[in-house]
């Protein structure tokens, strides 16, 4: 749940990367950590892994105080995708302000995607969040792999949902990671502006919000 602290003029927001096991949630966070400007990000916490599988969560803090004075802080989390970690997923999901659902594009992973999306709907309900009112972006990752479902089929399949169009990515080489994040930020702005009057009260328009939280560095 977005949290405004008037004494510090600080706004805290939480974004969760959700999806089936091995879809590339941790890889998305690692790429954001690499690609975003150094001043905009803190340390990437990669917690409790075994064989590169997330057992608890990863977290990357992002944020910056602008000349407008508002200290915008975003915490990006990943959940563990493996089925057995459901109680951890629910805990990480609680009070989320936005979701990036990372699906796996490989043909043989489509049932796992559907199951994980159903699990997201279920857990959102359990933590008292309404999927229809939550900024949510769906990314189909691993486009570089053989045997992926064609983009056109995926776009068509999701066309009648509020989450169309889908974002395509190959997180392993960074493609589509920042773009996905910017679409999420755009949707997050709409929701946050409604609740906290970012434009009227803080002078922060959509472009400023998105750019401040997703400015890329020069690789140094
Ligand atoms: N070829 C390819 N491999 C990827 C891509 N994204 C991630 N991977 C690989 O897929 C494996 C799983 O990636 P992770 O980012 O750890 O997946 P995760 O969703 O965090 O998995 P859990 O923590 O178990 O839920 C790793 O070996 C990654 O290098 C991609 O776009 N293309
Ligand atoms: Mg992970």
Q: Are 164 and 126 in contact (CB under 8 A)?
A: no
122 φ/ψ angles, rounded to the nearest 5 degrees: -60, -50
Nearest-CA residue for atom 2 of ligand 1: 142
Q: Which of 46, 172, 178 to mutate to test the pocket of ligand 1 (most atoms within 8 A of CB)?
A: 172
C-beta neighbour count of 131 within 10 angstroms: 14
Model's pTM, two decimal places? 0.96
Nearest-CA residue for atom 5 of ligand 1: 172
CA distance 79 to 104: 15
28 CA to centre of ligand 2 in angstroms: 9
In tens, the pLDDT along 164-178 reads 999 999 999 999 999
Q: Report whether residue 7 contacts ligand 1, using a CB cutoff of 6 Å.
A: no
CATH number of 3-214: 3.40.50.300
Q: Report whether residue 23 contacts ligand 1, using a CB cutoff of 6 Å.
A: yes
Q: Report the atom number in ligand 1 closest to the C-alpha of 175.
A: 31
Structure tokens at 203: 């002078």
Per-residue confidence (pLDDT) for residue 68, from 0 to 100? 81
Sheet strands (E) in 55-184: 58-65, 71-78, 98-104, 136-141, 167-168
In tens, the pLDDT along 17-57 reads 999 999 999 999 999 999 998 877 888 988 767 778 888 88
Q: Check residue 108 and report its DSSP letter.
A: G
Q: Which residue has the higher pLDDT, 8 or 65?
A: 8
In tens, the pLDDT along 210-220 reads 999 998 887 55
């Amino acid at each position: 749940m977005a949290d405004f602290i008037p004494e510090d003029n600080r706004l805290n927001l939480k974004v969760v990367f959700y999806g089936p096991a091995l879809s590339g949630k941790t890889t998305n966070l690692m790429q954001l950590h690499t690609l975003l400007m150094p001043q905009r990000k803190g340390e990437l916490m990669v917690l409790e892994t075994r064989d590169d599988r997330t057992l608890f969560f990863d977290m990357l803090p992002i944020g910056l105080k602008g000349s407008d004075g508002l200290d915008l802080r975003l915490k990006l989390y990943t959940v563990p995708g493996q089925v057995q970690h459901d109680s951890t997923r629910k805990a990480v999901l609680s009070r989320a302000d936005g979701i990036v659902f990372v699906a796996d594009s490989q043909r043989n992973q489509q049932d796992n995607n559907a199951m994980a999306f159903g699990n997201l709907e279920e857990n959102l309900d359990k933590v008292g969040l309404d999927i229809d009112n939550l900024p949510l972006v769906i990314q189909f990752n691993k486009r570089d792999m053989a045997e992926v479902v064609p983009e056109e089929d995926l776009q068509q399949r999701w066309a009648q949902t509020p989450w169309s169009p889908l974002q395509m990515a190959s997180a392993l080489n960074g493609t589509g990671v920042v773009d996905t994040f910017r679409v999420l930020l755009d949707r997050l702005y709409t929701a946050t502006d409604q609740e906290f009057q970012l434009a009227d009260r803080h002078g922060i328009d959509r472009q400023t919000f998105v750019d401040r939280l997703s400015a890329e560095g020069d690789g140094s």
